[in-house]
Amino acid sequence: MVDLSYNKLTYLREGLLEQALCAVRRLSLSNNQIDRLPRYMLEHLPYLAHLDLADNALTWLDVGAFTNPSLSVVDLSGNRLRKIVSMTFLYLPALRSVDLARNEISYVYKFAFYRMCSDARTPIAVSLRANRLDCEPGNAVARFIRMLYIVLVVFVYNLLMSKAAHLSVSCFWHSVKRTPAVFHRHFGKRSTFSVTFSRII
C-alpha cells in the first residue's frame, strides 16, 4: 500500500505513477487538492486494486479515466464532480464498488458506466448519495411550461413577420418546425424534452 493522503498534491504528472508505483495494489490519495487526473493514468498500474481519491478537488473526469483490469474499489467521494460523462468508467472487469457520494453531480450520462464490467452476474455497488441529482415531478412540469412558452413565442414571431395576417395551421406548424434550434439553446441537445420534441416533429 502507498499512502499519500493529507498532503498538498494538486496534480499527478502523466507518467509519474507508471515510473514509481507500477506494482502498487492499494493507493490512497485522499484529502489532497488534486483537481484533475491524467487520461488513461490507471492503465499503467496493472496490479492496482483499490484507489482512494476521496476529498480532493476533482471537477471533471475524462473519458477513459478509469481503465484497469485489476481495479475493484474506487472512492471519489467528497469531490466537486458535477456530471459523469459517457464511458468515464470504460473498462473495469474486476470492479465491485464506486463511491461518488458527496459531490455536486446533477447529471449522469446514459453510458457513463458503459462496459464497466465484463460479467453481468457480478453485482457492483455505485453510491451517488448526497449529490444534486433531481428527478422531482415539479421541475419536469416547469421545464414543460418553458417549452410551451418557447413554442408560443416562436409562433407569434412568425405570425407577425409573415405577409399573411390571418392565423393558419400551416403557419403554426412552421413555427413548431423552427422551434428545436431555440429549444436546444435553452435545454441542450441531449435533454429529454429536446430529444422527444425532435422526434415528434
pLDDT digits (tens, 9 = 90+) for 14-29: 766 766 777 899 999 9
Q: Does the 1-133 domain belong in CATH 3.80.10.10?
A: yes
The predicted structure's pLDDT at residue 56: 97
- At residue 120, the pLDDT reads 64
The pLDDT confidence band at residue 201, using thresholds 50, 70 and 90, is very low
Instruction: Compare 3 and 93 and report the one with higher pLDDT.
Output: 3
pTM: 0.66
160-186 burial, b at 16+ Cβ within 10 Å, e below that, comes to eeeeeeeeeeeeeebbeebbbeebeee
**What's the rounded mean pLDDT across residues 37-59?**
90
User: What is the radius of gyration, based on Cα positions, of the chain?
Assistant: 23
- Residue range(s) in the chain whose domain bears CATH number 3.80.10.10: 1-133
